[in-house]
Structure 1
């Protein structure tokens, strides 16, 4: 910790907004980043496997592919996004030229999570740098192999006055948050998000908080149950359920519950075989603390499937819980693991009661062939992002803003939304001097009556 603090003090004093580095130079840095990642793909995938046995396919699809997509978009669009935008002037300022400039914030702190430790660290960092900021990244200490790779990548690609990685645990994060930053980007849990927001408020620092919540998945009686089961199982069990936008619990119409449960079990075993602990495609829980937290949720619950625990391997079998109480251990907080409670309903009031029992979720999923009903329910509830007839895939469309509401977060990013997050709009008005109408200057005399007559010109 002491060494990290000393490095931080020296490095933060050295960091500066590098907007003087032109857009083309930043694009060249992004190309260098992409090339470096491509040349070290295997090391990155090996690090992800070492941290929690994430398969190479899943690592490439959920970490590298998403990163390449973001880099390519910024390389293609950065010049266009960075140009000043001309806006119509007001008659009151005639003659003038009015612009909106996109200005980098300056020194940015990015605190990254452990569940997707590469892409959820590198993507906000590359966006912030592309926008003209300098960045200090604090990777998660819970995924040390990936954290080491992140340090290697960023220090190899970017000058240290533009990007620097500080390793460490909670003490390092606490120290970082005591410093004054121009912007803070945090991805993680709701409790820590509140700590970050409080620390940022001390310096009136703007923040983006990407948090989580209990994401409901509604399955009505009209749903294509086979497709629903396949897509729910995939969205829930990718990364062993350690995904902030994964379905957290199912609300299924009572008359189709039994059939859905059978299909869910079939899909689990089709994806990972009956010997799931031996599947090369099924990851592990990140550490013993999270394993114990998840194991506790299974106490005193009726299980429809699963429940096997292998503590020495940090393995938790995909598990379906039958009709837990809304105040039970499994329903208190975001599960963040391969445990899926299933609750049945008979009418919309029960759905509404269950969802509104919890703070606004990060995601909401509805499976229904009744398009009118699905759209109505999407409008009914507050959430960060929603999908009809699928799960989690809204994350990959960079044209959609990604972010939460209330307890599930504040601020949005991905694609151009990342550009807008890591810059602020600066208004610039250029008045001409070839004419200067006297109307606005005192003495005002009887100008008030004239102003009232022409007010429609200015409003």
Structure 2
């Protein structure tokens, strides 16, 4: 095992040299990342297929194109993001220059995940580099082909003094976490997240934890059930269900359950043929441990669709379980596989009670044409994100932050939010040394007159709302109009006579 103390200290010395602070360095790293993607698409898609049986189209859509677009968006926006942010000043500070300066934390540790091994390693790295940090990247060893490829490619395209890749398993991760970092970004599960948070607490290191949870789906009455079934099935079975924001379970009435199952039976063969094990568009469970775990979850409720497995390929067919109870095995932990339990409820209020009885999910999906129902969920539940009448798609918008709340995560990223996550927002006030007599009121000895002056200059006032918020402008307008009239100034015509 490498000496990680020497590794981290070496990278920290490079950061302290100031090399990474400039726009030019950051831009060069982003250009290198773009080149890495463009020149190695075939290698990357091949590694994803070997690790997860991920179809090329799915790999391009949900991993490589997403990363590529993030790089380009960051390149196009970086000069704007790096500019100091001016802030509103009070009367007492009117002569000062006050702004927020985004500065890099230093040396950051990024712990990637196995289910989207390219996306979940490179997206946070883009944010870290755009913010001017040095980074040590630890891909997940479970997706070993992708991890090895990342280790081979990164040194060829990025600054090898500032960006290091460490491969290995639990011993290497444990050893890395014993070192002091300036920021830690982890994607994975709650169990490891607690270990990461405990390690970070030793040095009071800030963290972002991108976790998961049981993301619920509510299906209302009077919706286009064929469209709903397509969108749920796509979200559930992409990457064989191994997606942190995959629909985990469905809440609906008994009659909707029957309609949904009927439509899913029709659509599964459309997506994956009559025999999904032969489909080139359907993934596999990543390893034997997860395969056995997901298989056990099918012993819940009644199998309405699927339930087929092939042990030698770690294949589990798209499976729907009906009449599942909240106490069943499939409802205890995140499924992370192509198994969809359906729980029947009376209405949206009962569905909300079920959701609120559990930990806060990473995503919430609502299928309804009724705005009252949608707003009921938005106002009475909490989740990392919400997508109405679709699944997964909300994370494709770079202007929306992606992250969890409570047990589903801490912090967020994507687009500008990645830059902000890896930046310390530093408050800056610049003052001159002249006119110090103005400051006399704050210096001892204090008098009643000084106190009154300070109170007048620094006191805040509650803003009025409604009509009264415009009342001062009405008064000013009236006074101006009166002066115009008194001086004989009219707006109808202008005289040009001498």
The structure-2 alpha-carbon separation of the partners of 1:434 and 1:300, relative to structure 1 and needing over 3 Å to count, comes to: closer
The structure-2 alpha-carbon separation of the partners of 1:74 and 1:300, relative to structure 1 and needing over 3 Å to count, comes to: closer
Please show how residues 34-73 of structure 1 align to structure 2 within 5 Å. Answer: 34-73=34-73
Are residue 9 (structure 1) and residue 5 (structure 2) matched? yes
TM-score by length of 2: 0.89
Is the Cα contact below 8 Å between 2:99 and 2:429 reproduced in 1?
yes
Please report how far the alpha carbon of residue 449 of structure 1 lies from its aligned counterpart in structure 2 after TM superposition: 4.6
Please show how residues 221-240 of structure 1 align to structure 2 within 5 Å. Answer: 221-240=221-240
Deviations along 1:154-190, one digit per CA (max 9) or x if unpaired, are 1111222211000011111111111111000000011
Residue in 2 that maps onto 1:126: 126
Residue in 1 that maps onto 2:445: 443
Distance 1:218 1:246 in 2: 13
Distance 1:75 1:458 in 2: 41
Structure 1 runs of 4+ off > 6 angstroms? none
Is the Cα contact below 8 Å between 1:298 and 1:330 reproduced in 2?
yes
Deviations along 1:400-448, one digit per CA (max 9) or x if unpaired, are 0000000000101000000110001101111122311111111113345
SS class of match (1:282): coil
SS class of match (1:427): strand
SS class of match (1:304): strand
Q: Gaps spanning 5+ residues in structure 2: where?
A: 462-498
Count the aligned residue pairs. 455
Deviations along 1:292-312, one digit per CA (max 9) or x if unpaired, are 000111236410011111111
Q: CA RMSD in A?
A: 1.5
Residue in 2 that maps onto 1:303: 303
Please report how far the alpha carbon of residue 349 of structure 1 lies from its aligned counterpart in structure 2 after TM superposition: 3.7
The structure-2 alpha-carbon separation of the partners of 1:171 and 1:83, relative to structure 1 and needing over 3 Å to count, comes to: same
Residue in 1 that maps onto 2:487: none
Are residue 398 (structure 1) and residue 394 (structure 2) matched? no
Residue in 2 that maps onto 1:420: 420
Distance 2:172 2:332 in 1: 29
Q: Gaps spanning 5+ residues in structure 1: where?
A: none
Residue in 2 that maps onto 1:429: 429
Deviations along 1:195-223, one digit per CA (max 9) or x if unpaired, are 11111111110000000011100001122
Please report how far the alpha carbon of residue 379 of structure 1 lies from its aligned counterpart in structure 2 after TM superposition: 2.0
Is the Cα contact below 8 Å between 1:90 and 1:458 reproduced in 2?
no
Distance 1:43 1:328 in 2: 42
Residue in 2 that maps onto 1:257: 257
Please report how far the alpha carbon of residue 25 of structure 1 lies from its aligned counterpart in structure 2 after TM superposition: 2.6
Is the Cα contact below 8 Å between 2:401 and 2:412 reproduced in 1?
yes
Residue in 2 that maps onto 1:372: 372
SS class of match (1:284): coil
Residue in 1 that maps onto 2:193: 193
Distance 1:52 1:393 in 2: 21
After superposing the two structures, state which structure 1 stretch, 322-331 or 104-113, moved more: 322-331
Is the Cα contact below 8 Å between 1:11 and 1:161 reproduced in 2?
no
Residue in 2 that maps onto 1:179: 179
Distance 1:156 1:452 in 2: 60
Is the Cα contact below 8 Å between 1:91 and 1:458 reproduced in 2?
no
In terms of Rg, which structure is larger? 2
Please show how residues 149-298 of structure 1 align to structure 2 within 5 Å. Answer: 149-298=149-298
Deviations along 1:93-117, one digit per CA (max 9) or x if unpaired, are 3421111100100010000000000
After superposing the two structures, state which structure 1 stretch, 160-169 or 333-342, moved more: 160-169
Deviations along 1:367-395, one digit per CA (max 9) or x if unpaired, are 01112321221221100000110001001
Is the Cα contact below 8 Å between 1:37 and 1:153 reproduced in 2?
no
SS class of match (1:15): helix
Is the Cα contact below 8 Å between 1:242 and 1:337 reproduced in 2?
yes
Is the Cα contact below 8 Å between 2:362 and 2:409 reproduced in 1?
yes
Is the Cα contact below 8 Å between 1:247 and 1:391 reproduced in 2?
yes
